[in-house]
Amino acid sequence: MAACLDQWRHAIVECEDAGLPGQVRDIESVSRMVYSVMLDAVAELESRTIATAAGFRNTKQLLAGMLNLSPAEAGTRVAHAVQLAARRTLTGEVLAPLLPNTAAALAVGEIGPAQVRVITETMNAIPACVSAEDRDVAEAELARHARSFNSTSLHKIGQRILAHLDPDGPRPRDEQDSASAAGELRFWDRRDGRLGLEGYFEPEHSATFRSLIEQLAAPRPATESVPDTRTGPQRNADALLEVCGLARAAQDCPTAAGEPPHLTVTIDWDALRTGLGVATLDYGTQISAAEARRWACDAKIIPVVLGGKSEPLDVGRAMRTVPLSIRRALVARDRGCVFPGCDRPPGMCQAHHCRHWIDHGETSVENCVLLCEAHHRHVHRTGWEILIHPGHVEFIPPPIIDPTRTPLHNPLRC
């Protein structure tokens, strides 16, 4: 492939004036065709669930990590792949893409990614009440116009099509009587074990919440090969969890029977050791054994031995898996999360055992590093290796992120 491109580069230098515009046109259409092949490849990644098998949340997070794309760029690739790549049924039957005309125009290089973006955005804005036929006509129209108009003009054409299909525009939100409360927050247990959240703050209270969450949810400065792969909503969730962690750690935090709020996790010793299987929380919610391993990495543990009928036979003494003296030494060395590019201070970090204490890893400065909540989770899931040298810490990316596995360090720390 590279040799072929070199030949082309050479041909351009040799090319006569009259032939040069044609060359530029050819290069543009080839790059568009390559984008179409890229979308097919992303769709394959997605349908073979390669990302989750490698420990990533989804294909988007994998792409962002693998190609140094921002979460927004990676999200666009996945969204375009979903709409433009051919689909397969469970039985392997091949179906046409969701946007067939757009896919066909891109595949032959007649339109580019910017026009694809306008078309997908316009199609997504069509309200659900519009019939499938009208939707298909709109897509064919947009793909036809995209061959002769740039993305700015195409956007205007798209708006006109939308106005025609949906003259009323988006529905206004229901007016709600504002009460004296700061707002409303509802939460409930979802069937998938997650906690659902929904609510609002009155305008006068919005700033208090937003300023703090937005500050904590800012992407961690991206170094060369480790951009922050979390989406905005994911960063918000992490920020809210950090606020909870800080509140829990605060001196005047409410306590339950003299104990700071805590969780009981019941897990089989073998499951905790191997990370295979499940653990159960107070309310019967199940988490993976791998997640329980991460929690146990830096926690206060009270061992309870259960008998055959689950009655406690022996309750041990509460002990911190990382004592205060070690934590202080870690704070002195690491000065915060040591993951490449992260700037979280020590107060927001947990101590991670490079070799887990369950696997007889020592709780020592030589075996522990400080990681923020998000990076602690990331390291446990995606197979980063951590090497602790005197005075600095190196991170070795998993092969799927960097096949050469070149060590990285956090330039913000040392």
Q: Which residue has the tokens 């090319």?
A: 15
The least distance separating Zn ion from the CB of residue 281, rounded to whole angstroms, comes to 19
Return the residue of 64, 161, 322, 337 that touches Zn ion, per CB under 5 A. Answer: 337
The least distance separating Zn ion from the CB of residue 325, rounded to whole angstroms, comes to 19
Return the residue of 32, 60, 352, 409 that touches Zn ion, per CB under 5 A. Answer: 352
3-state secondary structure of 395: strand
The least distance separating Zn ion from the CB of residue 380, rounded to whole angstroms, comes to 6
342 is a site residue for Zn ion (CB under 5 A)? yes
Q: Which of residues 174-203 bind Zn ion (CB under 5 A)?
A: none
Neighbouring residues of 340: CB distance < 8 A, sequence distance ≥ 6: 223, 225, 226, 395, 408, 409, 410, 411
Q: Region of 309 please: left (phi>0), alpha (psi -120 to 50) or beta.
A: alpha
Return the residue of 35, 339, 384, 395 that touches Zn ion, per CB under 5 A. Answer: 339
Which of these ranges, 45-53, 91-99, 176-184, 297-305, lies near Zn ion under the rule CB under 5 A?
297-305
Number of residues that bind Zn ion (CB under 5 A): 8
297 is a site residue for Zn ion (CB under 5 A)? yes
State the virtual CA torsion across 85, 86, 88, 93 in degrees, nearest 10.
-170
Q: How big is the CA angle at 146 (ends 144 and 150), to the nearest 5 degrees? A: 155
b/e sequence 2-13, b meaning 16+ C-beta within 10 Å: eeeeeeeeeeee
Which of these ranges, 158-166, 235-243, 345-353, 397-405, lies near Zn ion under the rule CB under 5 A?
345-353
Return the residue of 32, 155, 235, 375 that touches Zn ion, per CB under 5 A. Answer: 375
The CA distances from residue 178 to 175, 183, 209, 293, in Å, are 9, 8, 18, 45
3-state secondary structure of 393: strand
Closer by beta carbon to Zn ion, 139 or else 298? 298
408 is a site residue for Zn ion (CB under 5 A)? no
372 is a site residue for Zn ion (CB under 5 A)? yes
The least distance separating Zn ion from the CB of residue 297, rounded to whole angstroms, comes to 3
Site residues for Zn ion per CB under 5 A? 297, 337, 339, 342, 344, 352, 372, 375
